[in-house]
Every structure is written in structure tokens, then in C-alpha cells.
Copies of this chain bind each other. A is one copy, B any other.
Amino acid sequence: MDQVNLKQLAKELNLAVSTVSRALRDSHEISPQTKERVRELAMKLGFQPNPHASSLRQNKSKTIAVIIPEIENNFFSQVINGIESVTPNKGYHVLIYLTHEDYNKERDILQLLRNGRVDGIMISVSNTTTNLDHITAWQQAGIPLVLFDRTCDELDVPNIMTNDAEMAFKATEHLLKRGCKNIAFLGMAGNLSISNRRKAGYLSALEKHKVTTPPQVIELTAKDYINRETLHAIFQQPQHPDGVFAAIEKFAVNTYEVCKELDLRIPQDVKVVSFSNLQAAALFDPALSTIIQPAYDIGREAANILFKLIEKKMLMPYEKKMILPSQLIERASTATGS
């Protein structure tokens, strides 16, 4: 695959390599006629500058990395979609890395990228991440970094998320208004700030409404079969919850599955509301009440902020901690039992 390069163009045109380079970059020190000649031949031969040579010389890669826990999740797909709505216009390329909720992988990926392969990263941390050294190290190296959704309060890094606590509060309140007395919170195990925010919203709603039944915080995992076992045990008890607020879409699905197994009717026996970006939630049996996060917007804004950092522009104060509101959609899974 013999690529066309500057030298060949230069020889063909009887020009110096530097002249050709400058002409293609539309430098003011090249005459219009020469520019035209160069551009014509470049177009004809389909010349594309070698990105590795450029990157080496200019010390910029025109590439960003997106690091996420998993990809088989509508939320993250939509985020990527949002990111991709920005990158091509900027002439940037997007590398994808999956941590599979594994701190070690996350650390290794960040280490691997600390050599100029990317100009910046966007990361949603894994739920097993407790040590944040790998992120602070990145920050100290001065390489642009943006956190989204799964952010870290301890870090002074630009982050984009949604109003988790507020929506969790609303969701819990919604269940209470629909008559639930014993609401369970299904959260991700680990110490994710996002889980904590949602849990806090749940707890404060219970407190505000002076619920006497003690809160039930249930920590689930990334593995479906384990979650089903856990939920099975919980819903077999006579005093099982009559309301479920799932902080993660997957957990709502697990709840549906277990309720079906145990012949518990939704919403008559158990009402369910969940954070979820699944479009098909409306088609569920029964239609699932959801809190929809603005995933696409989160991706787009995160990318915009990252590019501001890369271009060394100042951030507006609101861009350092951006909160995009989610939306609660009430459906049959939380309807009154009548």
C-alpha cells in the first residue's frame, strides 16, 4: 500500500517539501497560484497526510478516549452518540475502552494512554473504583479530562451529570403518593457517587414523608443471576416491599423477572420505577415508569467541555459542574391498584 506523501508531491511539482506542506495548510506565505497547483495534485492523488508524522511533530493526536464500564447499556450508547455528534466537526477521532466495572482495567487503560496517544479523555468510573490515584495522576500530568455520570466528588475535575438526588427524591415520593409503604432501593454495590446521590434522594424522601418502615437499601451487582437470587429471597418474605426504586435499569428488569417467577403482580402487589434509557420501557408488561437521563446531551456537553480544555479555553463556572435534568415518566408499573 504505497501511500502518497509530501515528498512525492514535491518532486512531481518541482517544489520543496516545506512549500507543499505549507500550501496544503493554507499558509499565508504561499502564493495563490502555487497553492492551487498543489491542491489540485493532492486532490488528484488522494493525498492524506500521515497522522503519525503529524502527531509526532505537533505533539497532538487529534484523538480522544472514552472510557466506560460497559457498552451493552442504552445510556452509554446514547452518550457515545452524543460525543460523536461533536468529534467529526472538530476533526477528532474517538477511541473506546471498556473497563467491565474493573478498577484494575481502568487503571491500566489510563496508564496505557499516558503517552500522547490521546489529547484528552472522558471517563465514567467503574463501580469497583475506590482509589482515585490513577485519575489524579492524569490530572496532574495536565492532560484534559472530563468525568460524566459516574463522577467523583472528591476530585476537582469538570464533570457532567444529571440531577440524581432530586430525581430519586421525586421517584420515591411518586411511589409514596401511589400508596407504597415499604419501598426498597436497588443500588449498585460499591461506593459510586452516583449510587450515593440516588440513595440520598431516596432516604430524604422517606424522611420528609415520615415513613416509619425502615429504609431497605439493597446492593446488587453486575451479574444478573446473583441479582435474581437476592431479589428472590427478598420477595419471598411475607413482608416483602410493595415498591421498588431501581437506580439502574438492569435492576428493574431483574425485578420484573423475579416478580413473574413469584406470581407477584405489578403494580398491584409491587410498584416499580427505575432510572432507564430504554425506549421500549413503554412496551413492557406492564409499561415501566422511568426516569430518563439526557444521555445524548450529557455526551455532547462532555465532549464540548473536553474540547474547550484541549483548546485551552477558559471554562464558564457552570461548565465545571454541569447538571442536566432528567425526566420522570409515569407509566403503568406505578399506577394505583384500582
What is A's interface to B at a CB cutoff of 8 Å?
A: 1, 3, 46, 48-53, 55-56, 61, 63, 70-74, 77-78, 80-81, 84, 93-98, 111-112, 114-117, 141-143, 253, 256-257, 278-280, 282-287
Complex copy number for this chain? 2
* Contact indicator B81/A72 (Cβ below 8 Å): yes
Q: Establish whether residues A1 and B143, one from each chain, have CB atoms under 8 Å apart when the complex forms.
A: yes
Q: Which of B50, B72, B73, B115 contacts A115 (CB 8 A)?
A: B50
Measured CB to CB, the closest approach of chain B to A181, in angstroms, equals 26
* Chain B residues within 8 Å of A70, by CB: 81
For the complex, give the distance between the alpha carbons of A84 and B18 in Å.
40
Residues of B within 8 A of A53 (CB): 52, 56
CA A98 to CA B87, docked complex, whole Å: 11
CB neighbours of A283 from chain B (8 A): 253, 256-257, 284-285
Q: Decide: A3 near B115, CB < 8 A? Known: A280-B280, A283-B253, A284-B283.
A: yes
The closest CB in chain B to the CB of A94 belongs to: B96
Contacts of A49 in B (CB 8 A): 115
Closest to A250 in B: B279
23 contacts between A and B (CB under 8 A): A1-B141, A46-B114, A49-B115, A51-B116, A51-B117, A52-B56, A71-B77, A71-B84, A72-B74, A72-B78, A77-B77, A80-B96, A84-B97, A84-B98, A94-B95, A94-B97, A95-B95, A253-B279, A257-B283, A283-B284, A283-B285, A284-B285, A285-B287
